[in-house]
Amino acid sequence: GQEAFQWFYEGRHGWWEYDPRANADLEAAFLAGESKAELLIAGCLYLIDLHGMMQYNKNDPGKRRTVKRDRVGVACKGVAGIRPA
Ligand code: V3L
């Protein structure tokens, strides 16, 4: 079927959706079979390990977050730090 997928990163007690542009970049890299993607998010460079399913802050790789690819519409905290109104 035509399932749609969304990428999420870990917050405190829940998941945040990546913003639409970052999500599109991650999905394209994933579908191309790439092992990693680099994203510039709010002036910060992040490495996303698409096999290990982990996001690393390139300025401080100790700052890492679990990521997941899940169905569009699953429960989450909001989009890229913005909670629903
Ligand atoms: N997209 C947007 N902002 C991000 C991302 C991302 N992929 N990764 C990190 N940040 P770090 P709670 C998050 C932000 O990992 O209450 C949430 O979006 C990150 O924002 O050390 O813990 C919320 O805005 C953080 O502010 O590089 O669930 C906020 O945390 C900053 O970059 C609180 O969320 C440093 O993260």
Q: Render pLDDT for 23-81 as a digit per residue (tens, 0 to 9).
A: 999 999 999 999 999 999 999 999 999 999 999 999 998 999 999 999 999 999 999 99
Whether the pLDDT of residue 1 is over 90: the answer is no
Take residue 12 and report the two structure tokens written for it: 């405190």
Residue listed under structure tokens 């996001």: 55
Report the DSSP pairing between strands 78-79 and 14-17: parallel
Cα 40 to ligand 1 centroid, rounded to whole Å: 13
Tell me which of 8, 19, 38, 44 to substitute to probe ligand 1's pocket, judged by most ligand atoms within 8 Å of the beta carbon: 44
> Rounded CA gap, 70 and 5, in Å?
6
User: pLDDT tier at 14 (50, 70, 90 boundaries)?
Assistant: very high
Confirm whether the ipTM is greater than 0.90: yes
State the pTM of this model. Answer: 0.97
Question: Does residue 2 surpass a pLDDT of 90?
Answer: no
Residues in the chain: 85
